[in-house]
Amino acid sequence: MIKSIPHKQYAEIKALVPAVISYIRDRLGIVTREQQQSELEKILVKACEKFQVTPKAYLAMLMSSTKQSPLLEHLVSAVTVGETYFFRDKRQMQLLQQTLLPNLIQSKRQQNNLSLRIWSAGCASGEEIYTIAMLLAELLPDIEHWTLQLLGTDINETALKKAIAGVYTEWSMRSIAAHWQKKYFIQQDKHYYLQEHIRRAVTFNYLNLTESVYPSMLNGTNAQDLILCRNVLIYFDQVHIAEVMKKFSAALLTNAWLILGASDPVVIQHTPFIFHQEMGLVFSRGELPLPKLALQKDSVPLATRPAVSLPPRTRIKADKNATLVLLEQLVTAENWQAVLPLITEQGTELPVTLQAKYKAMALANMGKLTEALVLLTDTLALEPTNRDCHFLSALVLLELGDTKAAEFALRKTLFIDHQYVFAHYQLGLLLVRNKQWAQGLKSLHNALAITRQHESDLEVPGAKSMTYGSLVDTLTHEIDLYQSLGKKEDTHENAYK
């Protein structure tokens, strides 16, 4: 039995580093720089010791591992250690607190739309998105009237578990002012417990940014007002960076914001982003007024992504199939602004429920949740057994914060089609986040069992570029997250008593 790596095997470790570097790049999209290779050697030594295998055996096991294998999880945790803490980067925090968030809030009030959607992509252990939650608690005196969707995603499952638990050490608190610490944390010995209302304000999900499963209502990455992705893109190669930036642009509403970290490379061709130079790596999706900073004179307009244009009406005027094909193309391209006029002008021959489904998807992805819900409610009055409309209603209700009505809609969806995997998935997430651990995990296991009935390389209907294999991976990660957290929840809750 191997208890430690013999000295003579260090040469084997060094020899397999290039193969592991290629594996990490191909599997995760993460690039290992030359200066990181010595650190990777240490990671591999620890891995061989942890799993009690020779270097050669470790590489063979890694190459054949699934995404949920302990070997891959250990490697991901080691190579994606996020350096983060509360109120990190004082300049950007000042920008968020004094300008960007107040401007977003003011704009939403003017639109009579009291909702905000903010996503921390590559959130590590959650300090960044929790900082945003605290800022909003200060900036919104009427916060109880707002619908806030705060999302943190990461590929590192160990970090996500820490984020969901909301328990931190002095290291995470090293830049936080006494006001915030006293108001939003409970200190016990050397640990700091986030106040319950802040912890519950944020949702955390497993997500690999290099995969094509976002933006999507299914994982809450659509229709964002603000995305923060700070010092994450430094891990990726140029091809993956460009793809991620395109997906971020599709995930943002018009007149929304993207903030990158100071070290992140910028690849923004073929996107609608405008780069604001004096603000660091900050981008707007559209021309946004910034009266406090007066940055327009220094903003650099970039190439705009070409929109999917509508063919002349005469080409498809009486052809229902052609209209449907074009409609599905627009939905796939996420050109939501073009979906609505196409249905209005050329889709009247399509079934009413199909029109409603795509209209509701477009409205929801444009942030018009109430309009989407009204449309779905009216449609269900005409066709009460429409599975897709019930499920879309559930997603919209979740985003509006009405969890009871969302649960009812999900259960109606499953009554109509008990094999609908996404309804089981969303119901499971809803229940575990409401601390109904046993029921929630049962629903997630139901979703996993149904997913495993299909070939892994087949695409899941209704999910952009998601295969059954990738869904199995996501569900397995989510189940692992919540199984361990459910067991710890009682201990965590005692900290508040």
Q: What is the CATH number of the domain that holds 288?
A: 3.40.50.150
The tally of domains found in the chain comes to: 3
Domain boundary residue, one of 59, 79, 99: 79
Which domain CATH number covers 388? 1.25.40.10
Contact yes or no for 121/82 (Cβ under 8 A): no
User: What pLDDT does 321 receive?
Assistant: 78
Closest CA to 88 of 116, 124, 35, 36: 124
| Domain-located, residue 306 | no
Res 15: pLDDT: 84
Question: Are 116 and 253 part of one and the same domain?
Answer: yes
Q: Are residues 145 and 19 in the same domain?
A: no
Claim to verify: residue 62 and residue 96 sit in the same structural domain: no
If the chain, 497 residues long, is cut into consecutive pieces of 10 residues, what is the mean pLDDT of each piece?
59 84 81 73 86 87 78 79 80 90 94 94 94 96 94 91 93 91 93 94 92 89 93 85 91 90 78 75 69 37 34 42 84 83 82 87 88 92 92 93 94 95 95 92 96 91 82 89 71 48
Classify each residue of 165-196 as buried b or exposed e, where b means 16 or more C-beta atoms within 10 Å of its C-beta: bbbbeeebbeebeeebeeebbeeeeeebbbbe
Rounded to 5°, the CA angle 42-63-463 comes to 115
Does residue 322 sit in the same domain as residue 226? no
Predicted local distance difference test score (pLDDT) of residue 135: 96
Q: Are residues 250 and 368 located together in one domain of the fold?
A: no
Sheet holding 202-206, edge to edge: 202-206, 147-154, 115-121, 224-229, 252-260, 282-285, 273-276, 299-301
- The letter for the amino acid at 410 is L
pLDDT of residue 67: 65
Does residue 209 belong to any structural domain of this protein? Answer: yes
Domain that holds residue 27: 7-79
- 167 with 211, same domain: the answer is yes
Query: Is the domain of 75 the same as that of 114?
Result: no
242 lies in some domain: yes
CB 255 within 8 A of CB 284: yes
pTM: 0.80
In a shared domain, residues 276 and 131: yes
Residues of the chain with pLDDT > 90: what percent?
A: 41
Confidence (pLDDT) at 372: 92
Residues 278 and 388 in one domain: no
